[in-house]
Amino acid sequence: MGPKKDEAFKHFGPELPPLDGQKTPRHACNYCNASVVKNVDRMRNHFNTCKARQNGSIGVMRDVVLVSRKKAAIASTSAATTLTPARPVGHSSRRTFDSSHSSCPTASISSWLDSMPSEEQNMLEELFSRAMHRSSMVFSTFETKYWKEFFHRLRPAWAIPTASRIGGELLVAEYNIVMRETISHIREWPLVCITIDGATNVVGKQVLNIMACGPHALFLEHCSMGLLRESSENLLDVLVDAKRRLRAMIRQPLDGFVAAGSFDDERPNSPRLAISDDHFVDPPMWTFQSDSPSVMKKLRRLCVDNKEFMFSYGCAAHALHNFCMDLVRKFPTISKIVKESIYIVKGINAVHRLTEFFDAQCLLKYRKRVKLILFSKTRWGSILCMLDRLARVQAVLFKLSRALELEDMVQDLKIDATLDVCLRR
């Protein structure tokens, strides 16, 4: 038994000999008597565009989407027996057609192809990119064959943007959208506090993050000092430049003055360039906040001296830490407990065999690994975390002190006697 003929053949007459100079036989259309080459795609195309058939209200053939043989091989094998047209925009994909149904006299293959205009494609790409960026997804997540198959069946006409496009122009477009939202929020603030904080990016490069707080912190930009030294004078230039550009975006200049524009806009110096708060309508109050290294302390003084900021202040966490450390020095007992706790954490982490013994005992006792927390010199809250963690593993520390009672082990590991004394307490 030979292969089953396509249903297109039933709308055409018997096979006719090829024309002169051709090798492919032909078939005559049953409606307009036109001669068509014996080819399934061409026969279907003629069937769906035949004026005589349309005037006779003959239904549109199933599977009018003309795909290549290669793409058809990738598709499901059920597509050869259960043929459904691709859905146009606004049509249900579950709707099926066969030759027994009637169609509009103006129906054609282009009206049922799942096509998408460039405007809708660009809009969907922006929504797709926004979902990836705001959920911190990897750009190449959807480039696997499984995701491609899923999106192909969901909407075949939609072309998934490449990782380079998502990380390129779509990322820039999303950044511009976020910055417009940021500026719209800052525009409503009567007081704007600018803060600078150092950070390390994913490639290990030191950068400065500039943020605006009102009091909710919003990221503005990041910068690098480059070849310039990170001094208070150079940092002041960076800070004032960011402040002036931000002011030009959230306030309108007075008549007769010209604003600088956006963050990436550069304009030549002009005698009418708005450079102070007096040149803008209803300017906000500007303040500055930073942590407490010596460079930042001097920068805070410079911000107030040059009258670019109303006042400046330091980090509350650092100030609270310094205050707590001053109190600890007034109580020798508390100071001794803190010093011994720091010595225990450092002593265990510095010796590999002690670390292995500690991890093994934690697995037996708590069914999980427990990591000791070391006190940070800039955050007082880390002392509480360190003491709380040591109190939780007190039973393991007691077993560790019993193990250290073996003098051979102490001498072999060259453990300071102070650690042994601290563990026994």
Q: How far apart are CA 388 and CA 373, in angstroms?
A: 9
3-state secondary structure 334-366: HHHHHHHHHHHHHHHHHCHHHHHHHHHHHHHHH
The answer to whether the beta carbons of residues 174 and 129 sit under 8 Å apart is: yes
The answer to whether the beta carbons of residues 63 and 114 sit under 8 Å apart is: no
What is the three-class DSSP state of 305? helix
Q: How far apart are CA 34 and CA 52, in angstroms?
A: 10
Q: How far apart are CA 194 and CA 402, in angstroms?
A: 54
Question: What are the Cα distances from residue 417, in Å, to 242, 405, 406, 410?
Answer: 55, 11, 12, 8
Question: Please, which pLDDT band fits residue 95 given cuts at 50, 70 and 90?
Answer: very low
Q: How far apart are CA 404 and CA 416, in angstroms?
A: 11
Q: How far apart are CA 371 and CA 361, in angstroms?
A: 12
Pure H helices in 81-210: 109-112, 118-134, 145-154, 163-166, 169-186
Residue 76 predicted with pLDDT over 80: no
For residues 282-293, average pLDDT: 87
Range of weakest confidence among 85-99, 231-245, 281-295, 313-327: 85-99
Determine whether 425 is exposed, middle or buried from the number of CB atoms within 10 Å of its CB (0-12, 13-18, 19+): exposed
**Model pLDDT, residue 156:** 65
Name beta bridge partners: 280.
253
Dihedral, CA atoms, 153, 150, 142, 167, nearest 10 degrees?
A: 30
Q: Which of 240, 247, 250, 283 is nearest to 183 (CA)?
A: 250
3-state helix, strand, coil in the chain (%, to 5): 50, 10, 40
The answer to whether the beta carbons of residues 423 and 344 sit under 8 Å apart is: yes
Query: What is the model's pTM?
Result: 0.48
For residues 290-318, average pLDDT: 86
Q: Which two tokens stand for residue 58?
A: 């003959």
For residues 358-381, average pLDDT: 81
The residues spanned by each domain of the chain are 7-112, 118-172, 192-314, 321-424
The answer to whether the beta carbons of residues 313 and 300 sit under 8 Å apart is: yes
**Model pLDDT, residue 211:** 93
Q: Which two tokens stand for residue 162?
A: 């490449």
**Model pLDDT, residue 212:** 93
Question: Please, which pLDDT band fits residue 194 given cuts at 50, 70 and 90?
Answer: very high
Determine whether 290 is exposed, middle or buried from the number of CB atoms within 10 Å of its CB (0-12, 13-18, 19+): buried
Name beta bridge partners: 212.
194, 218
Q: How far apart are CA 216 and CA 181, in angstroms?
A: 14
Question: What are the Cα distances from residue 67, in Å, to 63, 73, 75, 94, 397?
Answer: 10, 10, 10, 19, 71
The answer to whether the beta carbons of residues 99 and 59 sit under 8 Å apart is: yes
What is the three-class DSSP state of 91? coil
**Model pLDDT, residue 70:** 40
H-run or E-run covering 313: strand 311-313
Q: Which two tokens stand for residue 229?
A: 């030294």
What tens digit of pLDDT does each residue of 54-73 get?
665 444 443 333 333 344 44
Q: How far apart are CA 374 and CA 359, in angstroms?
A: 16
For residues 42-48, average pLDDT: 84
Beta-strand runs (E) in 314-367? none
**Model pLDDT, residue 63:** 38
| Single-letter amino acid code for the residue at 44 | R
Q: How far apart are CA 259 and CA 272, in angstroms?
A: 9
Say what percent of the chain tops pLDDT 70: 75
